[in-house]
Amino acid sequence: MENFIEEALFGDDEIIPAVINEVIDLAQPPQNIIPEERQQVTRNEQYYEYTIPRYTNDAFREHFRMSRVTFERLFNCIRAVHHIEDRLVPLEKKLLFTVWVISKPESFLAAGDRFGLAKSSAHKIFYQIVDELGQITNQYIRWPNMQKIQQTANVFELRSRGIPGVVGAIDGCHIPIKQPVRNANDFYNRKGFHSIILQGVCDENGVFIDVNIGRPGRMHDARVFRLSEIYEYLTRENSILPANLHLIADSAYPLLLNLMKPFQDNGHLPEEHVVYNTKLSSIRSTIERAFGLLKCKFRRLKYLDVNNSQIASRIVLAACVLHNFILLQGNAALDEYDIVNAAPNENMIEGVHENDLLVNDASNKRREIVQICNRENN
């Protein structure tokens, strides 16, 4: 190359144009190289229009967590509250996209590309449908009537082999989130990450009958409970449950007339208390399995890449609505996935004495249940 340029500069004038062309060619980037960024944003315009309609029923269920029939029912529910006209993106596509995003830990960019949506449009559509799922909460997360309550109590009594009057199990679980911009320390939990708390009450099938979402991850389960509506409903004079019915919880919760918990195990429990604790634990695990199923189906909840706790709470609520909707349609069951211990107990006992929390009526009631459990055990 050096000889070529030297000859051009000092030799024949006819070579100069050739040198100029050579330099220009070297200065030009190769035409067949496409920047990596541009390669990544190629959109799949046909995934919704062509691929999804050709999914088998099993493939559709695997990707969207429900059967086609159940999706059609969900679509009709959302259509009833959807009042935004959008001729460019049909509602069905919006709903499929939102379920996809909640179900998979895929980035918005990748999910948007899959559905042929720009990132900004994808965000707008996602939160629009999330809020519309929130609008149907009262239809699918609601306190049961007395007939259903009695049915639930009968099932729990059979499963526990003796504990009567159980209408639901309550617990809390952490939903990891991005470090919040405000009050970040409040959301930094004892496990070492930022989170919001989902407190749930579920029936014998793992269906949520009450949820409380959004308390900071550093807050203890017992305090979350005391700040929730369910605590008020259980402790007011006209409680939502008669004296012979109750929820069950772990040892982090207070003992109330309508909330039974295990005896604190100090290593020297009487045998009758051990029997009671074992039977209580066998059915209290239902709420842990419900959380496990929720997180297995909707994997976005394993980490929400949002730093606003209110937005995170809206997403969690939408997932809980979908969870219930699917279970109530008979599309899933607690034993569908290997979710044993998928949501282990994350509680730590507060610095309070159990005796401070006991009231005579609740203590006497638990004593009676202990006697019933041990009679059944003999």
- pTM exceeding 0.85: no
- Quote the pLDDT of residue 42: 52
- Quote the pLDDT of residue 333: 62
pLDDT digits (tens, 9 = 90+) for 39-59: 444 556 689 999 999 999 999
Does residue 114 carry a pLDDT above 70? yes
pLDDT digits (tens, 9 = 90+) for 291-344: 999 999 999 999 999 999 999 999 999 999 999 999 999 866 666 554 544 444
Phi/psi at 350 (nearest 5 deg)?
A: -70, 160
Higher-scoring residue by pLDDT: 6, 242: 242
Residue with tokens 């509680």: 347
Does residue 346 carry a pLDDT above 70? no
Band of residue 17 on the pLDDT scale cut at 50, 70, 90: very low
- Quote the pLDDT of residue 46: 84
Beta bridge partners of 168: 247
pLDDT digits (tens, 9 = 90+) for 58-88: 999 999 999 999 999 999 999 999 988 777 8
pLDDT digits (tens, 9 = 90+) for 173-218: 999 999 999 999 999 999 999 999 999 999 999 999 999 999 999 9
Does residue 377 carry a pLDDT above 50? yes
- Quote the pLDDT of residue 378: 62
* Average pLDDT over the chain, rounded to an integer: 85
- Quote the pLDDT of residue 307: 94
Stretch 360-365: mean pLDDT: 90
Sheet holding 208-216, edge to edge: 208-216, 195-202, 166-176, 246-248, 259-260
Does residue 355 carry a pLDDT above 60? no
Distance of CA 211 to the CA centre of its chain: 12
- Quote the pLDDT of residue 231: 96
Q: b/e map of 147-173 (b: 16 or more CB within 10 Å)?
A: eebeebbebbbeebebbbbbbbbbbbb
DSSP 21-74: HHHHHHHSPPTTPPPHHHHHT---TTIIIIIGGG--HHHHHHHHSS-HHHHHHH
DSSP 270-332: -HHHHHHHHHHHHHHHHHHHHHHHHHHH-GGGG-B--S-HHHHHHHHHHHHHHHHHHHHTTS-
Does residue 228 carry a pLDDT above 80? yes
3 state SS for 176-192: EECCCCCCHHHHECCCC
